[in-house]
Amino acid sequence: MKHLFTIDLKDYNPNGKKFYRPSVRGIILDEDGNVAMIYSQKLHFYKFPGGGVEGDETQLQTLAREIKEETGMTLVPESAKEFGEVSKIQSGDDPNEDYIHIQQNYYYTCRVEEKINEQDLDDDEKKLDFVLKFVPVDEAIKANAAFKNENKFLEQMAERDRRVLEILKNSQ
């Protein structure tokens, strides 16, 4: 998969233990060119539907599961096409542990079936009050560019997806 960019905060001990977290994210466009995003009604930022690979899942299995959980929609598996990969490197979220959090984010363009079911969010996603929204790419870029938060993982998630949205916009 084509490497799009790397976000490296360099806020970690380079000799720390490395923790790898592969993740898969879906880029879903509707017929009007709006993009399906997960929006935090609490903090006002957007993210692509997706999340971490669990166990021995393939990337496609993860993509299907995460799209279903976060959007309530069903992936059309044969529609998934590689878009690009983003690396994110930063210290872990526990200041008492010395490790490097390395997340590989694999983005796929894809289609979904028309029917939208209920979301199946985990507790953290519920706390952020995530909802599915189809929005113009520029609207999501603007919201994420303005997003600031003391939680560096959330702030970097918004930054990562803003940059992917800009690449998507420029590729259309």
- Per-residue pLDDT tens listing for the chain (172 residues): 999 999 999 988 888 899 999 999 999 999 999 999 999 999 999 999 999 999 999 999 999 999 999 999 999 999 999 999 999 999 887 766 788 989 999 999 999 999 999 999 999 999 999 999 999 999 999 999 999 999 888 999 999 999 999 999 999 8
pTM, to two decimals: 0.94
Exposed, middle or buried, 93 (CB in 10 Å: 0-12/13-18/19+)? Answer: exposed
* 167 vs 162: CA distance, rounded Å: 9
Other C-beta atoms closer than 10 Å to the C-beta of 18 total 11
Residues facing residue 81 across a β-bridge: 109
Q: Are 130 and 70 in contact (CB under 8 A)?
A: yes
What amino acid is encoded at 12 in this protein? Y
- CA–CA separation, 79 vs 92, rounded Å? 35
Query: What is residue 95's predicted lDDT score, i.e. its pLDDT?
Result: 64
Question: Is residue 108 within 8 Å of residue 63, measured between CB atoms?
Answer: yes
Among candidates 159, 157, 94, which has minimal Cα distance to 130? 157
> What is the amino acid identity at position 106?
Y
What's the confidence (pLDDT) of residue 79?
98
Measured CA to CA in angstroms, residue 52 lies from 34, 66, 166 at distances of 25, 8, 23
Q: Which domains does the chain have, with CATH numbers?
A: 3-171 (3.90.79.10)
pLDDT of residue 70: 97
